[in-house]
């Protein structure tokens, strides 16, 4: 095709013990948006890392603008007009926003002194922030931003490189609905300007909305291509997994027992003027919805004791408990599956066995000596219960897919007999097949008598998974919806503070208000 800007032909890549790619083909036209779909481990990220200069192919050919391109490094890729937005954040939190966006390309003055022109640095960075509609100062330290805003900074950095081929690997995994729509709008605008986009996402609705074509990979091979007119959730999933697969949401079989775990007048450091109260029943999944920055993750961190709460009371099975630290929470059976599993959920360079048994290591020791056999039996049992796919329990967690890493986080808590489990973005960066497994596990745990709090920015997930939905806005719960009341419109009205009647009715039963707004 004369309009083709990129051709990847017969690409192969092996890692020790596994063929990640087996003669994969991919072509992209100028200004075209091509989605690449597949389960975790299908080879999507490996293929993109080869195009981005991170990995070298064992076989195959890459052609850009009709000429063979040998991409030895990331700088080679950038020089050829390839920009990469990575699935995992690739930012430096010791620098500010502008320094991250223009890292290595800072405007300088002073001749050989090469002093950074800070005024121009911030002006350039603001251009890309404004393009994304991100209301953050270019001078803001990156460490002060949420994961979602850090992801947007990553996107701004890629846009600043004037890429002709832009790889977006799970760019919306931490974004709210509004931020996602903004990003998709930017992608469409770039496409109209002639930029070619390769878009990887586990959110199939985004692919259907955005892509001109979707190329599906399965087990490191091409599984099929669907054009815009052929796309559909079921068709894409069938190519991905080789069979039709439901969304995986499981309806509750029994009624919840209210008041099992109760939070009263909890105030966090982020929103000190907001007192939050709610209860979760035994056998219930209580979803928490809201925009990024609404205070949901801060609430979870305060309950778990990872962040100090300014005030608040906790009750478990009607008895008051203190949750002043993660250790205190663990001792009471209250556990957190954190938003960023790679940073705070697992230790990547430790084995599956070590990760699963670490929180309760004292239970596997006698006189200070660890019983390795007992550890192995416990880890093997959890791997079997949760269908954790790993070559061996002695394999490093870093070598597992995102879905299996998430199961390892679950396994370490389940080995301690939890009573309350808090999931913060339970399926972030996980493929559709693994999502269904996580949903089924969560429902089984609820049916077994746990109280589950599920925080998610995925509206479909919140609606499908939750027995009730609590909606937060600016640190306060603006309403709690029963299952039959739940809809995207009802949730968004509460998230934007537009359902004042519902808000007042909810406050009649629980105090959830901010003193600053009264």
Give me the pLDDT at residue 112, please: 86
DSSP helix/strand/coil, 157: helix
Distinct helix (H) and strand (E) counts, the chain: 17, 25
pLDDT tier at 313, thresholds 50, 70, 90: very high
DSSP string for residues in 60-100: EEEEETTEE----SHHHHHHTTEEEE-SS----TTSBHHHH
Helix ranges (H only) for 466-499 are 488-495
- Asked if pLDDT for residue 505 goes beyond 50, the answer is no
Is the pTM here over 0.85, yes or no?
Answer: no
Domain extents for the chain? 4-241, 257-333+419-517, 344-417
Tell me which DSSP letter residue 398 carries.
Answer: G
- Cα 383 to chain center, whole Å? 23
Task: Dump pLDDT digits (tens) for 188-223.
Answer: 988 998 999 999 987 888 999 999 999 999 888 999
Q: What is the mean pLDDT of residues 332-360?
A: 85
- What angle separates helix 118-132 from helix 147-159, to the nearest 10 degrees? 110
Q: Which residues of 296-325 are buried (b: 16+ CB within 10 A; e: fewer)?
A: bbbbbbbbbbbeebeebebebeeeebebee
How far apart are the C-alpha atoms of 234 and 337, rounded to whole Å? 30
Look up tokens 């039959």; give the residue.
484
Q: Do the domains 4-241 and 257-333+419-517 sit in the same CATH topology, yes or no?
A: yes
How far is C-alpha 250 from the chain's CA centre? 21
Task: Write down the architecture of domain 257-333+419-517 according to CATH.
Answer: 3-Layer(aba) Sandwich (3.40)
Among 285, 326, 302, which residue's Cα sits nearest to residue 464?
285
Q: What is the mean pLDDT of residues 16-37?
A: 90
377-435 residue pLDDT tens: 988 988 888 888 888 899 888 888 777 888 888 888 888 888 999 999 888 767 677 78
Distance, CA of 327 to CA of 303 (rounded, Å): 12
Highest mean pLDDT among 241-250, 281-290, 340-349: 281-290
Looking at the chain, the whole-number percentage of residues with pLDDT higher than 70 is 91
Q: Is the pLDDT assigned to residue 259 strictly greater than 50?
A: yes
Give tens-digit pLDDT for 291-304.
Answer: 767 899 999 999 99
Tell me the CATH number of domain 4-241, given options 3.40.50.720, 3.40.50.300, 3.30.420.10, 3.40.1390.30: 3.40.50.300
At residue 437, the pLDDT reads 81
Contact 436, 465 (CB under 8 A): no
The span from the CA of 469 to the CA of 287, in Å, is 5
Q: Which two tokens stand for residue 35?
A: 């989605």
pLDDT of 99 > 60? The answer is yes
Spatial distance between the Cα atoms of 121 and 107, rounded to a whole number of angstroms = 6
Residue 409 DSSP label: H
Report DSSP state, residue 371: -
């Amino acid at each position: 095709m004369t309009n083709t800007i990129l051709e990847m032909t017969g690409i192969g890549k092996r890692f020790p013990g596994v063929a990640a790619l087996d003669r994969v083909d991919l072509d992209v036209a100028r200004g075209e948006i091509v989605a690449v779909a597949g389960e975790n481990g299908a080879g999507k990220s490996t293929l993109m890392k080869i195009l981005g200069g991170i990995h070298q192919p064992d076989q195959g050919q890459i052609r850009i603008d009709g000429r063979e391109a040998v991409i030895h490094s990331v700088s080679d890729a950038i020089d050829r007009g390839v920009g990469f937005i990575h699935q995992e954040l690739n930012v430096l939190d010791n620098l500010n926003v502008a320094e991250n966006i223009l890292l290595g390309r800072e405007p300088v003055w002073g001749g050989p002194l090469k002093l950074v022109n800070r005024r121009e640095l911030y002006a350039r960075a603001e251009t890309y922030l404004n393009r994304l509609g991100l209301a953050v100062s270019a001078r803001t330290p990156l460490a002060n931003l949420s994961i979602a805003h850090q992801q947007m900074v990553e996107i701004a950095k890629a846009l600043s490189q004037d890429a002709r081929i832009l790889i977006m690997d799970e760019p919306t995994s931490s974004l709210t609905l509004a931020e996602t729509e903004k990003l998709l709008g930017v992608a469409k605008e770039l496409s109209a300007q002639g930029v070619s986009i390769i878009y990887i996402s586990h959110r199939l609705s985004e692919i259907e909305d955005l892509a001109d074509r979707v190329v599906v990979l399965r087990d490191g091979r091409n599984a099929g291509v669907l054009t815009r007119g052929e796309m559909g959730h079921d068709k894409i999933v069938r190519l991905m997994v080789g069979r039709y697969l439901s969304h995986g949401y499981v309806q509750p079989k029994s009624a919840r027992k209210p008041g099992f775990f109760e939070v009263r007048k909890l105030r966090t450091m982020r929103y000190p003027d907001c007192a939050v109260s709610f209860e979760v029943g035994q056998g219930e999944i209580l979803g928490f919805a809201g925009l990024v920055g609404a205070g949901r993750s801060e609430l979870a961190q305060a309950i778990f004791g990872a962040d100090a709460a300014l005030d608040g009371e906790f009750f478990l099975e009607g008895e008051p408990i203190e949750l002043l630290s993660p250790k205190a929470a663990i001792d009471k059976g209250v556990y957190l599956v954190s938003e960023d599993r790679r940073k705070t959920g697992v230790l990547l360079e430790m084995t599956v066995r070590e990760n699963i048994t670490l929180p309760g290591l004292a239970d596997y020791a006698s006189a200070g000596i660890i019983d390795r056999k007992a550890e192995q039996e416990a880890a093997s049992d959890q791997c079997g219960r949760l269908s954790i796919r790993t070559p061996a329990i002695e394999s490093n967690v870093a070598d597992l897919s995102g879905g299996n890493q998430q199961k390892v986080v679950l396994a370490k808590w389940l080995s301690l007999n939890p009573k309350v489990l808090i999931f913060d973005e339970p399926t972030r960066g996980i493929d559709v097949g693994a999502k269904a497994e996580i949903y089924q596990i969560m429902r089984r745990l609820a049916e077994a008598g746990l109280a589950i709090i599920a925080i998610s920015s995925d509206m479909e997930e919140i609606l499908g998974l939750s027995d009730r939905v609590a909606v937060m806005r600016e640190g306060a719960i603006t309403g709690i919806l029963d299952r039959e009341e739940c809809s995207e419109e009802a949730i968004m009205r509460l998230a934007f503070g537009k359902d004042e009647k519902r808000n007042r009715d909810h406050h009649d039963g629980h105090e959830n208000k901010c003193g600053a707004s009264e």
